[in-house]
Amino acid sequence: MKYAKILRHLADLQGLDRSFLTIYLDHPIDRHWLEHELNTLHNVLDHSADEYQHFQENRRMAVNFLESTGKRSHGLCLVCCWALDLREVYELPRNVGNLLWLDSSPYIRPLAEVSEEYQNVALVVADNNLARIYLVSAEIKQMGKIAGHIKNHVRVGGWSQQRYERRRDKALKHYGRDIVNALVRLKGESAYERLLLAGSQEAIQTVKHELPQQLVHMLVGEKALDLRHADLSEEIYPLVHAAERQAEMALWHAIKQQYMRHGLAAMGVASVLHAAVDGRVEKLLIQRDAEIKGLRCKECGQLLAGAAAVCSACGKSNLLAVDMVNELSEVVISHGGTVDYCPAFGALQAVGHVAALLRY
C-alpha cells in the first residue's frame, strides 16, 4: 500500500520535546472546532517552555497551509514540526474524525489504522470462460481479463474421450498459468498484500495449483460463486472484509500456538513493548478501539507500560502520558514490522488487547 513508506518515515521521526503537531481533519473542515482546539492548547501550555514556541510555529505552519489549500473531497492528516522545518500532508481515503495531537513524534495511529484497513487486495473472479482480476482498496479497479473458453466435460467414451480430456486438462493448465502470470505482473506494479479467489470451484483449483510460493502465502480466502447470477458490486467488499477477519484470526492462532510452546510470541503490553523496542516484533495484533495508557520519559525517551512515578531507565520523574497503541505502532513500524488492528474479541481482550509474533 502507498502508506507503508509514509508510515515508516513518520515512525522514524522522534524527539524528546513535544515539537510535533499532528492534525486530522474531516471533509469539510470544521474551522470552529480547529480554532477552539488550537486556542485550548495555547492556553494550557507553559508559555515559558520551549514546547510553547514549537506549538506557536507549528500552528502558524498549519493555519497557513489550510488557508491556501484548495478544494478536496477526503479527510487529511497534517504533520508540522517547525524544529525540523517539516510540514507534510496526506490525503486519506475516508474521514477518520477530527483530532489535534501535540507530542514528541507524529501521531500515526489513525493513519496506520486506515492504511491497514485499505491494504491492496488482488481478487480473481473466474469461471471456465473468463477470469477478471481486480485490485481492491479504497476503490475497486479491474486490472485485466483472461479468456478461458474451457469446454465442458463430454461423455463419448473410449479413446476419443481420453484424448478430449487430456486436451481439456492442458487448456486448463495454460489458463491457470495465464491468470497467475497476470497476478505476478500486478504484484510488481501495485504491491498488493493479500489475494482472494472467487468463482467456479474448478477455476479456483486451477489457479491455486499454479500459484508460486510468493503468492501462496498471500492467499487469504476463496469463495464459490455462480458468476451467471452473482452481483459483483455487492460481493466484492464482503469478500475482502471476510478475508481480513480470517487473516486476523489466523495471525492470532499463530501467535497463540507459539506462545503455548514458549516460542516466538509475546502477549500483554509490557512483554510486547519490550520485544518491540528490541526490534523483535514481526507482526503486531492489536484491538482497534483499545485505550492503553503508557508513559514516556521526557529526559531519556524511555517508554513505560502502566503507571510509574519515575523512569525505570534514568530515575527521573519528568514523565509524559502517551497513547500506548500509537507508541507500539510507531516502534514496530520503525523496525520494519507490520500492525494489524482488529475488532475486539474475548481472548485478545483477556491478554491486554495486544499480542505479537516475533522474529527471534
pLDDT at 203: 94
Q: Are residues 36 and 74 in the same domain?
A: yes
Average pLDDT, stretch 55-71? 90
Q: What is the CATH number of the domain that holds 16?
A: 3.30.960.10
Rounded to two decimals, the pTM is: 0.83
As a whole number of angstroms, the distance between CA 192 and CA 136 comes to 9
Q: Is residue 296 part of a domain?
A: yes
Q: Are residues 98 and 184 in the same domain?
A: no
Q: Is 78 within 8 Å of 110 (Cβ atoms)?
A: no
- 44 pLDDT band, cuts 50/70/90, is very high
Q: Are residues 112 and 123 in the same domain?
A: no
Q: Find the range with the poorest average confidence among 64-73, 82-91, 280-289.
A: 64-73
- 93 pLDDT band, cuts 50/70/90, is confident
pLDDT at 126: 93
Q: Which of 268, 14, 243 shows the shortest CA–CA distance to 122?
A: 243
Q: Are residues 55 and 84 in the same domain?
A: yes
Q: Is residue 237 part of a domain?
A: no
Q: Is residue 243 part of a domain?
A: no
As a whole number of angstroms, the distance between CA 247 and CA 238 comes to 14
Which pLDDT tens digit goes with each residue over 185-220? 999 888 888 899 999 999 999 999 999 999 999 998
Average pLDDT, stretch 82-111? 94
Q: Find the range with the poorest average confidence among 45-54, 149-158, 252-261.
A: 149-158
As a whole number of angstroms, the distance between CA 186 and CA 137 comes to 14
Q: Is 299 within 8 Å of 311 (Cβ atoms)?
A: yes
CA distances from 282 to 27, 139, 257, 331, 358 (A): 35, 28, 15, 11, 5
Which pLDDT tens digit goes with each residue over 301-356? 899 998 899 999 999 999 988 999 999 999 999 999 999 999 999 999 999 999 99
Q: Is residue 241 part of a domain?
A: no
Helix (H, G, I), strand (E, B) or coil at 303: strand
As a whole number of angstroms, the distance between CA 219 and CA 211 comes to 9
**Is residue 154 over pLDDT 70?**
no
Sheet strands (E) in the chain: 20-25, 76-81, 86-91, 99-103, 121-126, 130-136, 140-147, 194-199, 219-224, 265-267, 281-287, 293-297, 303-305, 319-323, 338-342, 354-358
Average pLDDT, stretch 96-112? 95
Question: Residue 64: how many CA atoms within 13 Å on its side-chain side?
Answer: 9
Q: Are residues 256 and 301 in the same domain?
A: yes
Buried b (16+ CB within 10 A) or exposed e, 308-337: eeebeeeeeeebeebbbbbbbbbbbbbbeb
Q: Which of 87, 116, 145 is the last residue of a domain?
A: 116
Q: Which of 89, 116, 143 is the last residue of a domain?
A: 116
As a whole number of angstroms, the distance between CA 304 and CA 292 comes to 11
Q: Are residues 155 and 102 in the same domain?
A: no
Q: Are residues 211 and 278 in the same domain?
A: no
- 157 pLDDT band, cuts 50/70/90, is low
Q: Compute the mean pLDDT over every residue in the chain, rounded to the nearest whole number.
A: 90
Q: Are residues 307 and 340 in the same domain?
A: yes
Question: Parallel, antiparallel, or unpaired: how do β-strands 76-81 and 121-126 relate?
Answer: unpaired
* Region label for 178, one of left (φ > 0), alpha (ψ between -120 and 50) or beta (otherwise): alpha
Which pLDDT tens digit goes with each residue over 232-263? 777 888 888 888 888 899 999 999 999 999 99
**Is residue 156 over pLDDT 80?**
no
Residue 82: which domain range?
1-116
Place of cell 492442458: 170
Q: Which of 199, 230, 261 is the last residue of a domain?
A: 230
**Is residue 16 over pLDDT 80?**
no
Q: Are residues 167 and 82 in the same domain?
A: no
pLDDT at 84: 93
Number of domains in the chain: 3
As a whole number of angstroms, the distance between CA 306 and CA 292 comes to 8
Average pLDDT, stretch 220-236? 81
Average pLDDT, stretch 58-76? 87
